[in-house]
Amino acid sequence: MDTTVVTIHLPASLHAELQALAADEQTDLVEMISRLVAMASQRRAWLHDLKALREQIRRDGGLRVGTTKEEVVKRLRQTRREILG
């Protein structure tokens, strides 16, 4: 497999931090950067899904869990019973 390689310029302090992270994880710098990029992508996807969920809840008129503490507790107990059978 032919992989194109590029050179990047980083501040020395950032390079040192990446090297330290890679050493802690017992991996090389390229693998460490790959992991960080993957984590950032997962976080972005999670935030996108959270935004969609919030929008759906807003469109559906809220969570409808009640306005008082007692109503919230009652609804939570009911949901727990439904889940646990």
Q: Quick one: pLDDT at residue 71?
A: 83
The pTM of this model reads 0.63
Choose between 30 and 75: higher pLDDT. 30
| 2: alpha, beta or left? (left if phi > 0; alpha if psi -120 to 50) | beta
Average pLDDT for 4-10? 93
Q: Over 18-67, what HEC string results? A: HHHHHHHCCCCHHHHHHHHHHHHHHHHHHHHHHHHHHHHHHHCCCCCCCC
CA distance 75 to 73: 5
What pLDDT is attached to residue 1? 62
Q: Are 63 and 54 in contact (CB under 8 A)?
A: no
**What are 31-83's pLDDT values in tens digits?**
999 999 999 999 999 999 999 999 988 888 777 766 788 888 888 899 888 88
Decide: 18 and 30 in contact? Cβ < 8 Å: no
DSSP 3-state of 78: helix
Domain ranges of the chain: 12-84
